[in-house]
Amino acid sequence: MQYKRILLKLSGEALMGEKQYGIDPKRIAEYAEEIKEVVEKGIQVAIVIGGGNIFRGLAGAATGMDRVQGDHMGMLATVINALALQSALENVDVQTRVQSAIKINEVAEPFIRRRAMRHLEKGRVVIFGGGTGNPYFTTDSAAVLRAIEVEADVILKGTRVDGIYTSDPEKDVNATKFDTISFADVLLKGLKVMDTTAFTLSQENELPIVVFDMNTRGNLLKIVDGQNIGTVVNV
Ligand code: UDP
């Protein structure tokens, strides 16, 4: 296996599956199976999950809501998703812990770095909810931050597309995929991988990012096994 400890970033929207809102039980069960395969290979798995399937602070602000209030709602949405993913993983007998950046002690542990690392060493999947705990950030930033903190080897960004393209492959038939690309080239070419804050944090800390299609069965294991089926962003 190429990686020993991974940080998997899943967007909230990915959990919607075919639905327009919320959580698709079939999709989350499929993700749990994919994650279980990787855990069974002895890979240590940390996960950051988004909340866009439930609420985004920017969407609230667009309707006149205070941005910070909206971001708090968005962060709570990520906790809901984290709990749902924990349930799905437990249904397939994978041991997990949820750690939240917002204190919500009755339902999740607070984020404690050393404790998170201990869970990982013991083979438990650690799901980080609540984003960074701060408004005006995204869960991509939370993913990079947590990956660096727990010393993950790589951040795996599971998306609907199978990598980074020269232009949007859903709009441009001539778009071609990069197998690997440097952080500098992503910026130079103006490509969109993560928001700028998250991307820069990853670059400064030389944390590689792999963008891949999470919706094809077996892909997560292939990535962890070192098969380049997505795009690797590296220094
Ligand atoms: N959010 C936040 N701080 C964070 C992470 C998330 O305020 O550190 C809020 C923000 O409102 C965001 C929402 O939570 O819109 C959901 O997260 P995100 O949009 O990153 O989810 P995704 O797009 O991955 O589903």
Percentage, residues of the chain above pLDDT 90: 97
212 neighbors 230 (Cβ within 8 angstroms)? yes
Whether residue 10 is annotated as binding a ligand: the answer is yes
The strand pair at 209-213 and 231-234 is best described as antiparallel
74 neighbors 57 (Cβ within 8 angstroms)? yes
The pLDDT tens digits for 119-157 are 999 999 999 999 999 999 999 999 999 999 999 999 999
164 neighbors 181 (Cβ within 8 angstroms)? yes
Count of all residues that appear for the chain in the document: 235
CA of 1 to the centre of ligand 1 (A): 31
pLDDT reading at 170 higher than 90: no
Q: Is 168 left (phi over 0), alpha (psi -120 to 50) or beta?
A: beta
Residues with CB under 6 A from ligand 1: 11-13, 50-52, 56-58, 70-71, 74-75, 77-78, 131-132, 134-135, 137-139, 141-142
Domains of the chain with CATH codes = 5-234 (3.40.1160.10)
Whether residue 140 is annotated as binding a ligand: the answer is no
Whether residue 182 is annotated as binding a ligand: the answer is no
Confidence (pLDDT) at 179: 97
Q: Is 98 left (phi over 0), alpha (psi -120 to 50) or beta?
A: beta
ipTM over 0.90: yes
pLDDT reading at 7 higher than 90: yes
pLDDT band at 160 (very low <50, low <70, confident <90, very high): confident
Confidence (pLDDT) at 110: 98
Point out the ligand 1 atom lying closest to the alpha carbon of residue 9.
24
Confidence (pLDDT) at 154: 98
Is the Cα dihedral 145, 232, 45, 17 positive or negative? positive
The CA distance from 10 to 122, in Å, is: 23
Burial 190-204 (b: 16+ CB within 10 A, else e): ebebbeebbbebbbe
Can you read off the two tokens belonging to residue 175?
Answer: 């778009």
Alpha carbon nearest to ligand 1 atom 6, residue = 138
- Could you tell me the CA-to-CA distances from 167 to 8, 11, 134, 181, 206 in Å, in that order? 24, 21, 32, 14, 25
